[in-house]
Structure 1
Amino acid sequence: MNQSILFSDGQRVDADKQAVRFDAQQYGALIPCFVAIADLQKRHQDTLMTKKAILTVFSQHRFDYEDLAEEAIEAEDFNERGEIWVS
């Protein structure tokens, strides 16, 4: 684990992006990270109808998504808005 990348405990559903947002911090810079709700539904193998259900499934796989986000940050795999998207 890279000690220069830290993840906050907070996460939230971003309805506009149809994703869960969780933030990372590297050398003081805030990095928005996202996982699509569709990806969470694939992992859960069911439709997630409420924010609570979405966040529960995200929490169950949080460490996997943080590992993927850390790899993407280290590879500088940011989109044009400076976001990291993992699946």
Structure 2
Amino acid sequence: MNQAIQFIDRLEFREPDHQLVFFAQVSGMLVECVIAVNTLKLTDESHATEYFEQYRFDYEERAEQLIEEESYNSAGQIDVSLLSFS
């Protein structure tokens, strides 16, 4: 794990946009990591939190890779693809 990247214990479910947003601190800056979850049937924040907690480490690992690759979008966010789990 890159010590300059730390994930903080904060999660937002942005219902109108169907996004889960978790946060990384990168060299002192707060970076939003966004997962578009419109294909999932997440009806409210508690369902979204439950889903994220189940796959937290997988999403954080993917976000860390994207941060290291400096794959920021035009808003300065990291777009994390919805992971498929079998």
TM range (shorter): 0.7 to 0.9
Summarize deviations over 1:33-84 as a string: whole Å, max 9, x none: 1111236x2xxxxx22222111100110011000010000000000000000
**TM-score normalised by L of structure 1:** 0.85
**TM-score normalised by L of structure 2:** 0.86
Structure 1 residue ranges, 4+ long, deviating more than 4 angstroms after superposition: none
Q: What residue number does 2:50 align with?
A: 56
**RMSD value over aligned CA atoms?**
1.3
Summarize deviations over 1:5-46 as a string: whole Å, max 9, x none: 00011101012431111110111011111111236x2xxxxx
Unmatched tracts of structure 1, length 5 or more:
42-46
Instruction: Tell me, yes or no, if structure 1 residue 2 matches structure 2 residue 5.
Output: no
Unmatched tracts of structure 2, length 5 or more:
82-86
Higher helix content, 1 or 2: 1
Corresponding residue pairs, total: 81
Q: What residue number does 2:73 align with?
A: 79
